[in-house]
Amino acid sequence: MSEDELKARVLDAALSHVPFDGWSERTLAAAITDAGVAPALARSLFPRGGVDLALAYHQRGDEAMVAELAQRNLTALRYRDRIALAVRLRLDSADRELVRRGTTLFSLPMHAADGAKAIWQTTDRIWTALGDSSQDMNWYTKRATLSAVYGATVLYWLGDESSDRQATWDFLDRRIDQVMQVEKLKASFRENPLGKAWKAGPGKLFETIRAPKLPDDLPGRTRG
């Protein structure tokens, strides 16, 4: 059995324990027993215990979203609707109680950076799946903006009791509309005299900023 298969086996065994014990050492210990995996091997796959389990669950959701997007014909959708669809697919792939437990874990100071990185990676997967090929400062601003939208939407979704989570999707649409308005303002600024002066002066510095080079074999992604 491969390392990925072993990790998936332990993670599968952990899911039924998370609602009771959270993403914790106790959950990992129970999952190891249930999965029948050698404890030393399992702990080498999840060296930080519960937090690594939670991150593995988050990555699984990202991969499910990317796979689902790949099967959709997005050409007829406006770009803002493609983004909304990606976020919706991402949340549809998740269990609210498991995410709620993860939110609690990543709100702790020692794990806050892991939580922020996980959200950033989700938004990176979304932009990449939608064909984003930016290599300059836009690479960062797109992901930072979507991270804020995604994080706020997750928190709203966790408390949403409306039919079919419609209130969440309405909330998401409003947040994306706000972002699109900002993008329109940015485009307008670039075309006016002040914007052109900025681009010719201080803006030149930002044009030198490039997106990080990522490995081509990272699962579920390609870079343009």
Taking only the tens place, the pLDDT of each residue in 61-107 is 999 999 999 999 999 999 899 999 999 999 999 999 999 999 999 99
pLDDT value for 187: 53
Mean pLDDT calculated for residue range 18-39: 97
Please check whether residues 158 and 178 belong to one and the same domain: yes
DSSP one-letter code for 49? T
What CA–CA distance (Å, rounded) separates 199 from 178?
A: 24
> b or e along 202-214 (b: 16 or more beta carbons within 10 Å of the residue's beta carbon)?
eeeeeeeeebeee
Please check whether residues 19 and 93 belong to one and the same domain: no
pLDDT value for 173: 95
Residue 201 in this model has a pLDDT that exceeds 60: no
Q: For position 180, which CATH number holds? A: 1.10.357
Q: Report whether 91 contacts 153 (CB < 8 A).
A: yes
Please check whether residues 89 and 195 belong to one and the same domain: yes
| Domain count along the chain | 2
**Worst-scoring range by mean pLDDT, 15-29, 72-86, 124-138, 204-218?**
204-218
Compute the mean pLDDT over every residue in the chain, rounded to the nearest whole number.
86
Mean pLDDT calculated for residue range 32-39: 96
Q: Report whether 206 contacts 136 (CB < 8 A).
A: yes
Comparison of pLDDT for 144 and 220, the residue scoring more = 144
In a domain, 111, yes or no: yes
pLDDT value for 206: 42
Comparison of pLDDT for 221 and 99, the residue scoring more = 99
In a domain, 113, yes or no: yes
pLDDT value for 202: 47
CA distances from 145 to 43, 84, 179, 221 (A): 36, 13, 8, 20
In a domain, 224, yes or no: no
SS3 189: helix
5 lies in which domain range? 1-47
Comparison of pLDDT for 218 and 46, the residue scoring more = 46
Please check whether residues 5 and 76 belong to one and the same domain: no
In a domain, 22, yes or no: yes
Mean pLDDT calculated for residue range 142-169: 95
Please check whether residues 39 and 61 belong to one and the same domain: no
Please check whether residues 137 and 186 belong to one and the same domain: yes
Residue 200 in this model has a pLDDT that exceeds 60: no
